[in-house]
C-alpha cells in the first residue's frame, strides 16, 4: 500500500510521547489524523467570522483551538502510524489558510501592511512550491524549519489577537517582532526545500 512508505522509520518528537501517554487514549480509533485536519479547515471561516465582527474572545478561542489541532493531528499520525499522502498535502495547507486569513484580516489592516504582505506572499509561494513538487511526484512532509515557522507564526498572531482583544499595545510590538522572526524562518524553510 502506498501509505505504508510514509509510516516507515517514524521518529517520535517529544510532544508525540506526551500525546501518546495523555491524549491518544481519549480519541477513538475511528478518529483519524485527517479528520482533525478537515476539522481545522472548517474552523478557518469560524475564526475569521468572529474576528471580522470584533468578537475577540471567540475569535482568539477558536484560533487557539485550530492551532492546537495542528499539533494534535501530527502527533496522532506519527503515534498511530497513520501518515498519508493526503495529510502531508492538506495539513500544511490548512495551516497556511488559517494563518494567511488572519494575517489578511488583522495584520494587513491594523498593524504592518508590508510585513503582513510579505508573510502572505511567502505562504503562497510555499503552497505553490508544494503543489509543483506534488505534480512532479515528490510528496515531502514538513521539515524542522516549516514546523518552527508555523509555531512562531501562531505565537505572533496569538499575541496580536490578544493585544487587540485586551488593548495591550506592548503585545503589538512583541507580535510584530515575532512575525518578523517567522518571516525569516519561512525564508530559511524555502531555501532548505530548494536544496533537497
Q: Could you tell me the CATH number of the domain that includes residue 61?
A: 1.20.120.1760
Which is more confident, 46 or 176? 46
> Domain containing 171: what range?
2-194
Q: Percentages helix, strand, coil for the chain, rounded to the nearest 5?
A: 80, 0, 20
User: Between 48 and 106, where is the model more confident?
Assistant: 48
Question: How far apart, in whole angstroms, are the C-alpha atoms of residue 20 and residue 17?
Answer: 5
- Count of structural domains, the chain: 1
Q: Quick check: 137 pLDDT over 70?
A: no
pTM of the model: 0.85
At 139 the pLDDT is 59
Confidence label for 147 from pLDDT (cuts 50, 70 and 90): confident
Q: How confident is residue 114, by pLDDT bands cut at 50, 70 and 90? A: confident
Q: What is the pLDDT of residue 64?
A: 94
Among 76, 78, 99, residue whose Cα is nearest residue 22: 76
Residue 32: predicted pLDDT: 96
Q: What is the mean pLDDT of the chain?
A: 86
Check residues 67 and 195 and name the one with the higher pLDDT: 67
Amino acid at each position: 500500500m502506498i501509505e505504508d512508505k510514509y509510516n516507515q522509520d517514524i521518529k517520535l518528537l517529544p510532544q508525540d510521547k506526551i500525546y501518546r501517554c495523555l491524549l491518544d487514549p481519549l480519541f477513538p480509533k475511528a478518529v483519524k489524523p485527517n479528520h482533525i485536519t478537515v476539522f481545522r479547515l472548517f474552523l478557518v471561516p469560524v475564526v475569521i467570522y468572529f474576528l471580522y465582527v470584533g468578537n475577540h474572545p471567540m475569535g482568539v478561542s477558536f484560533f487557539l483551538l485550530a492551532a492546537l489541532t495542528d499539533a494534535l493531528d501530527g502527533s496522532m499520525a506519527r503515534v498511530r502510524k497513520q501518515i498519508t499522502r493526503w495529510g502531508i498535502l492538506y495539513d500544511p495547507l490548512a495551516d497556511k489558510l488559517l494563518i494567511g486569513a488572519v494575517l489578511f484580516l488583522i495584520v494587513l489592516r491594523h498593524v504592518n501592511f508590508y510585513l503582513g504582505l510579505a508573510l502572505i506572499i511567502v505562504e503562497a509561494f510555499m503552497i505553490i512550491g508544494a503543489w509543483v513538487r506534488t505534480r512532479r511526484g515528490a510528496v515531502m512532509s514538513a521539515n524542522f524549519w516549516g514546523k518552527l515557522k508555523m509555531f512562531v507564526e501562531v505565537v505572533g498572531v496569538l499575541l496580536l489577537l490578544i493585544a487587540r482583544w485586551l488593548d495591550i499595545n506592548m503585545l503589538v510590538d512583541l507580535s510584530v517582532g515575532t512575525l518578523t522572526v517567522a518571516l525569516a524562518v519561512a525564508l530559511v524553510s524555502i531555501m532548505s526545500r530548494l536544496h533537497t
